[in-house]
Amino acid sequence: MTAEALTGLVFLPLLAACAVAALPGRLGGGFVLAGLAPLPLCLIVLTGAVVDTGTVSLAIAGFASPLGIEWFVDPLALILLWLNTVIALVVGLYAARDYPPHSARGGRFWALWLLLTSAMNALLLSADLFNLFVTLELVTVAAIGLLVIDGKPAALRAGMRYLVLALLGSLFYLLGVALIYGQAGTLDLYQAGERLGPELLPVTALVLMTVGLLVKSAVFPLHSWLPAAHGNAPGPVSAVLSAMVVKVSIYLIWRLWLWLAADWQPDWALPMLGLLGAGAILYGSVLAFLQVRLKMMVAYSTVAQLGYLMLLFPLFGPLGFTAATYHLLSHGLAKAAMFLAVSNILAVMGTDRLDRLGGADRRLPLDTLTLALAGVSILGLPPSGGFVSKWLMLQAAWAIEGWGWLIVILAGGLLAAAYLFRPLAVLCARPATARPADDVRAPSPAGLRWGGIVALMLALAALVAGLAPAPVLTLLEGGLPPGARP
């Protein structure tokens, strides 16, 4: 059954994308549903297998590595697969309002959406360095196609910049793959790790691949493309870009340093990567505070929050690993909720400039609530998922007496409070003047309420993640990286 489940995760959305691309019109909606709806079933089967056996692997076409490509699922990959599927489905519910599948534009949107879902699932499953390159390219092309689908000049420009940088990043990644294959004679991530050592060439290869992936995941100081891209994309696309697309690259960086190089990372590498994370937290938070547009603020907040994922490296250990993974999960849900709520606000108010949003809470109570709830998780206040991850992370920093990291985590929390309270205060203000224009193009009230409920669901999921973290944490403890195992 697991082979079928794995197949479904990649091939259902892929084939549905083909169907939507080939047969647009009334049939489209049905295929979208057929491509996405069964994915949780596949994941339930897969979760059962992972809980039973710890890991699941599958040799494609029956050819094991080094010749063939293998899929490999451990608890980390499984949790990301769940996150990806939930985001694709729930944000998809929201997108169905703006992009009806039977229109020409909607057909393209859903074809790309399904391709993106399939590509990210394939990326999370793959344990082959070159296959990962192919899936990364598919993710990039589909994501940028979605970004520019509304034809807004700002989005086109942001998409172009994103594409050029992402292609450059791919080149660096590929150069690293070339070196690894030359040295190890295999492309399998885990096999290559066993065959290599801390010599100059393998380390150089890892550095090259990491630089490429850092560009793609917009980690400080290579983040320059992200705010414009995430701040100008259509709402549901911003949500999936922030919640998943940038994170899969960081996930690969984790795989490279904590799995492939588990036994031989040089001493300087992990603190170095952590420093980038610290820079991202501080710089991203300050810039988020300085933004005048709500959506840009949320985008800069992503730059900051990505930094916490890089803190895994200096805080590496069982605690640090579960903390970072939990952060990935709760931030994904909260940030998707935030982008959707902002998108609703933008649709109703016609602008997302903070100085024109005064009193918007009366017209959009649901979305203001969503923004506040998601903010609680981003801030790391109890009882949210963000609290669990920040708490674990602080414990990890305490345990290794990394006071510097501790301060960065705390400062990041305070700065997040600063930049998140400002828009909430504005939204709930009672301005005497400056009523927003009423003649803006807004979706129907029903559509709006629908979108608001979807966003609220995600924000609540991020909160619930804080109330019942035990199953996820137990699962993760069964799949610690080699270096963190007792």
Partner 1 sequence: MNLLIDVLIAIGLVVLAWQALVGGSLFRGIVMFIVFGLTMALAWARLGSPDLAMAEAAIGAGVTGALLMIAYWRLRALGASRPTPRSRLRARLALGVGVLSSVLVAMIGLAAVEAIGPGGEAGQALAAALPATGLGNPITGVLVIFRNLDTLLEVAVLLAAYVASRAALGDDKAALPLPPAQDAPLVGALVAVLAPLTVLVAIYLLKAGSQLPGGAFQAGAVLAAGGVLLMLAGRLHPAPLCGLGLRIALVAGTVVFSGVGIIMLALGQPLLAVPGTWAVYLIETAMMVSIGATLVLLFAGSAGLSGKALR
Partner 2 sequence: MSHAEVWVVAAAAVFGIGLYSLLIAAHLLRQLIAIKVMGSAIFLVLVVAAGPIDGALDGLPKALVLTGIVIAISAIAFALALLVRLAEVTGSTSLEDDADDDR
Binding site for partner 2 (CB under 8 A): 67, 130, 133-134, 137, 140-141, 144-145, 148, 151, 153-154, 156-157, 159-161, 163-164, 167-168, 171, 174-175, 177-179, 181-182, 228, 231-232, 292-293, 351, 353
Report how far Cα 126 is from the mean position of its chain's Cα atoms: 17
d(CA 194, CA 186): 11
Question: Which residues have a Cβ under 8 Å from the Cβ of 393 and sit 6 or more positions away?
Answer: 308, 311, 315, 319, 320, 323, 324, 327, 409
d(CA 21, CA 25): 10
d(CA 463, CA 142): 30
- The residue among 185 and 365 lying less far from partner 1, judged by its C-beta, is 185
- The residue among 62 and 445 lying less far from partner 1, judged by its C-beta, is 62
Q: Which does 428 bind (CB under 5 to 8 A by kind): partner 1, partner 2, none?
A: none
Q: Which does 161 bind (CB under 5 to 8 A by kind): partner 2, partner 1, none?
A: partner 2
| Residue of 378, 379, 410 whose CA lies nearest to 394 | 410
Instruction: Find the binder of partner 1 among 158, 187, 319, 323 (CB under 8 A).
Output: 187
- The residue among 76 and 163 lying less far from partner 2, judged by its C-beta, is 163
Q: What angle do CA 478, 480, 486 make, to 5 degrees?
A: 90
Query: Within 196-351, where are the H helices?
Result: 200-217, 226-232, 235-240, 246-254, 269-290, 294-310, 318-349
- The residue among 223 and 327 lying less far from partner 2, judged by its C-beta, is 223
Instruction: Find the binder of partner 1 among 5, 127, 129, 146 (CB under 8 A).
Output: 146
- Tell the smallest beta-carbon distance from residue 181 to partner 1 (Å): 7
- The residue among 15 and 460 lying less far from partner 1, judged by its C-beta, is 15
Q: Is 375 in the site for partner 1 (CB under 8 A)?
A: no
Strand partners, 71: 58, 126
For 468, other C-beta atoms within 10 Å of its C-beta total 12
| Residue of 117, 169, 161, 106 whose CA lies nearest to 139 | 117
Q: Is 124 in the site for partner 1 (CB under 8 A)?
A: no
Q: Is 200 in the site for partner 1 (CB under 8 A)?
A: yes
- Tell the smallest beta-carbon distance from residue 231 to partner 2 (Å): 8
Query: Omega before 66 cis (within 30°)?
Result: yes
d(CA 331, CA 324): 10
Q: Is 56 in the site for partner 1 (CB under 8 A)?
A: no
| Residue of 92, 91, 81, 95 whose CA lies nearest to 40 | 81
Strand partners, 293: 353
Q: Is 135 in the site for partner 1 (CB under 8 A)?
A: yes
Q: Is 58 in the site for partner 1 (CB under 8 A)?
A: yes
Q: How far is CA 264 from CA 112, 180, 192, 261, 323, in A?
A: 39, 14, 12, 5, 23
- Tell the smallest beta-carbon distance from residue 110 to partner 1 (Å): 10
Q: Which does 119 bind (CB under 5 to 8 A by kind): partner 2, partner 1, none?
A: partner 1
Q: Is 467 in the site for partner 1 (CB under 8 A)?
A: no
Q: Is 131 in the site for partner 1 (CB under 8 A)?
A: yes
Instruction: Find the binder of partner 1 among 3, 399, 425, 440 (CB under 8 A).
Output: 3
- Tell the smallest beta-carbon distance from residue 13 to partner 2 (Å): 19
- The residue among 155 and 376 lying less far from partner 2, judged by its C-beta, is 155
- Are 396 and 406 in contact by the 8 Å Cβ rule? The answer is no
- Residue ranges that bind partner 1, judged by CB under 8 A: 3-4, 6-7, 11, 14-15, 17-19, 21-23, 58-63, 65-69, 104-105, 108-109, 111-112, 115, 118-119, 122, 130-131, 134-135, 137-138, 141-142, 144-146, 148-149, 151, 156, 159, 175, 178-179, 181-187, 200-201, 204
